[in-house]
Amino acid sequence: MGGVVADDRTTTEFTSEIPAIVTQGLTRQFGRVTALNKVSLVVPSGTVLGLLGPNGSGKTTLLSILAGFIAPTAGNFQLLGQSDHSEALARTGSLISRPLLWPHLTCRDNLRCVQGITGGESDMDEVDRLLAEVGLDGSATNRKFGQCSTGMRQRLGIATALLGKPDLLLLDEPTTGLDPEGMVEIRNLIRELGNAPGRSIIMSSHLLHEVELTCDHYAIIFRGNLVDQGPLTNTPPPASAVQLNTTDNKRALDCLVNKGWTASTNSRDTVQHQSLLVEIQPGAEWKVARDLAEFGIYPSDMRPSEPTRFTGSLEGKYLAAVGRGEVEGVQQE
């Protein structure tokens, strides 16, 4: 696979103070369905942000609004620091659905056609550079699109998004439908693309580990609501966790969070159903019990939790955010 052409400067030097994207109260109705509900998201410049959420949570809707394909019902957003999006959209590349190109044309001719359609001059240097960048150089260049594998088609789709050297890339589930090897290749490609100076990327995914492997920021969207966002740090998992139940888990969760505990509903708990999971240091169960007792809440059941349920990981953040959404009754209207 060809590498991304980058100069000596580091990404950090290019990281602008101006975020790549700022949305304020972004809302989109489809009839009675609220696909997106007052989403206020910040994507720092120069980052690769993973937009996580279960099926139907609003990821495609958000990306489609940012790409200028559909309008929000309410709210607004700045793209590359600009509220007037036309200029910023010229610096934005997107791959929102599967690439639908011409099956009887080669990869090279397909890319050249898209270059023409999107207003670029015929620039074969750019076409060949992009084919190399996404790993479609060599014999792949002249393969007909209809004879390409799903992974190759996806690469060509990404190449179309890269036309015009965009500063911002919007990729909707770029690894969906690929075999494991193809997934790894596309993830590596996205990481490489994200290393280009000043470039920001949002990729949606419903795979936690994919976002962990590929991205440096995350945002979690649940039933149209943004429930968490932040940087992805490689913090080691906490030493321990405890699972507990009370007569009012919703109130107990609020109390624990107020007391500074990292706690969530344990949605993997198929036995106790919606018990709580609290991140603790070994032997600190008594502190949790003490803090709950302050609110007159007494755990009916406390037990050590499996290590995979630790809440410091992205999985923990996801379960906590989705758990909060469920506890708070986040709904699609």
Identify residues 78-117 at the interface with ligand ATP (CB under 6 A): none
User: Which lies closer to ligand ATP via its Cβ, residue 59 or residue 155?
Assistant: 59
- Rule CB under 6 A: say whether 72 interacts with ligand ATP: no
Give the per-residue contact string, 37-56, with ligand ATP (x = CB under 6 A; - = no).
----------------x-xx
- CB of 118: closest distance to ligand ATP in angstroms? 24
Identify residues 168-227 at the interface with ligand ATP (CB under 6 A): 206
Q: How far apart are the first and last CA of the chain?
A: 46
Residues 6+ apart with CB under 8 A from 154: 98, 99, 174, 175, 177, 178, 182, 186
The residue whose two tokens read 């993997």 is 268
User: Which lies closer to ligand ATP via its Cβ, residue 63 or residue 276?
Assistant: 63
Type and span of the H or E element at 5: none
- CB of 199: closest distance to ligand ATP in angstroms? 23
Tell me how many residues contact ligand ATP (CB under 6 A): 12
- CB of 126: closest distance to ligand ATP in angstroms? 31
- CB of 28: closest distance to ligand ATP in angstroms? 8
- Rule CB under 6 A: say whether 61 interacts with ligand ATP: yes
Contact pick of 60, 225, 229, 265 for ligand ATP (by CB under 6 A): 60
- Tell me if residue 206 falls in helix, strand or coil: coil
User: Which lies closer to ligand ATP via its Cβ, residue 206 or residue 268?
Assistant: 206
Scored b (16 or more CB within 10 A) or e, 182-212 reads bbebbbebbbbbbebbbbbbbbbbebbebbe
- Rule CB under 6 A: say whether 286 interacts with ligand ATP: no
User: Which lies closer to ligand ATP via its Cβ, residue 222 or residue 261?
Assistant: 222
CB-CB contact of 322 with 311 (8 Å): no
Q: E-strand spans in the chain?
A: 21-30, 33-39, 42-43, 48-52, 74-79, 92-95, 168-171, 200-205, 217-222, 225-231, 240-245, 263-265, 276-280, 301-304
CB-CB contact of 267 with 274 (8 Å): yes
Query: Which residues contribute to the site for ligand ATP (CB under 6 A)?
Result: 30, 33, 35, 53, 55-61, 206
